Amino acid sequence: MTLSGSAFVSDFTSDGQLSIPTGGTINDSFSPIVLGGGSTTTIASGGTIFLNGQTLELRGALLVNNGHISIGTTNVNFGSLPKGSGVYAR
Q: What is the pLDDT of residue 21?
A: 97
Q: What is the pLDDT of residue 30?
A: 87
Residues of the chain below pLDDT 50 = none
Q: What is the pLDDT of residue 90?
A: 75
Cα angle 29, 85, 62; round to 5: 60
Strand order in the sheet with 6-9: 6-9, 25-28, 48-50, 68-70, 87-88
Q: What is the distance between the alpha carbons of residues 41 and 19, in angstroms, rounded to a whole number?
A: 6
